[in-house]
Structure 1
């Protein structure tokens, strides 16, 4: 180390600054040759030295000022950045500690060499320089470790979050598979049950016709009713399968509720009159054109109306289309039918669930279809019902339904 006329700490600092490159190379040689710092072999000289010049400069400033506290902020920033880089470069904590300890050894050796070459540099000056250097390097080590541990913990939290999300999605998929399996079994049981009933009744009709030719008309009527019930079952299952399988983008268009109202009233008038029921219609004159998917809205209304007619033996069916608060409109169907008991109200919108007796034809899919279509149309579905007094179903839709984009469909 070259001689200098500057005495005390100032002379030491000047010498250290002059020898910075040589000291850095000495440290890097020690690190590359140390078996405890395995990951150093994967770094270039530039990557290894990264923040060392800044840390070296902070140590020199501390030795000049004899004050660590004034430089703590700058030292900590450089140390944290050093710890962050080392973590990203694959260092273990023990390797980070080891390379900084080697840096300490290089600096302390340089201080000892300077003291040996300069008799005017007192033992007290040397001891003070050693203690301050040791304090700064210890501070750098601690801050670097904290940052590396923080990076590790953040990465662990990130991986933990990913695992939790993956586990949650897996749980949902398992539940979906279980639900699909149960639905499949329900379909099998339901179809098998109805087919068995169909065959039994059809067999009874054939036996009646063969044993008593005079009752042939009665037998044919019985068979025809059973065929009609089976057709209803099949139609409901086909409609529900189409609703669930429709993954196309939802198209919307403006349409006049007046035309839809007249069409639905006309479609249901024959079936209500056939059962001796009164069909009452109400259309709000203040409701103008709405924007939605007209076909799906019609499906919702038809299913609610068909359901009301099916479960009402006397009285009336009310069908209403009206404006609703908050830029919305509503579709309402009420009846004076059998109603739904409190115990059954939680499950009536599920597939193959029926709150009425088994002698009424159907697969129990009508309200499930309404629920699915209402969700697709951003509708809010609610109902009120009392056993033996009838039911009221209401779906509130937005006046303008925003169509889905291709990006929304992939979410």
Structure 2
């Protein structure tokens, strides 16, 4: 419950006293937001990650907010540089946590509705959001700067690997050719995403009160989360990109494989209100293949399908695919893929205006390369408005 505030106070004084009187509860609720942001991405977010702790961050806001409202043109970023970048913190978790804390404080301010002037309260809420927007923007700038050397090295290494493969005439081999495409895709995504994060963060920091800053922040948030996802992929595909991922053959129980796949994606499907089914329709119960590679392919295809279906149906089937071969088929009844986009689906450097295909697309490039390493191929069929079917054909016994 909020602490009572005297009605004889001015709007500005009432605002300051409300924040001060309820600071402990605001800190507790904000701490819960930080913890939730970490759990959502299976990554802890310690409160001491914010220099001086969360209470200091909120104290800074409480000190600056009345002045910003009173003077009308005070920059709230005075202390934003204090938010240090720590290597163990994920960018997406930091963004989500600070967005959440912003809304906790705004909700606290809205408890004053009816007690202070509406225009004053609206301005207080705007300034609060601006304070946290600037924190996020500064953090993104510092994150990119801190990652700069390593990312530049990554990009240079990927460029060199791509050039070597092209010079060696690797295009004659399907696996080598798809690896070149994956390398090019990662380089393209990395450069574009880094550039977008820097441009949007700089725009918010330099022009925090310009019209359209809310839209810029939305793009910054989306690209910041995208950058973290890309960095995750770089780690996941490190050996694959280096061409050092050899096949590990083992006996795979098809029923168990499909059951595990369904369990891994049950939460995602539930969040998207999508029905997910996994079953075997024909073929042997045991196959010999690289379970790790096949799982990565299936994970990528199912994740894409669930995002595409959203409230619909995703069906995964394992079946016999001709002499000595198996088929892994993932079908969704989502929006489908336009013909203009379908022609370039495995070329991440091609952008189709108005594309409905979300995600990095690197998962598709990686899946195709993994299929080639398994002696198989990844193909798809789709009609706009009627969903899509992705199918992996691979040997029943990998040799």
TM-score for the superposition, normalised by structure 1: 0.46
Larger-gyration structure (1/2): 1
More helix as a share of residues: 1
TM-score for the superposition, normalised by structure 2: 0.47
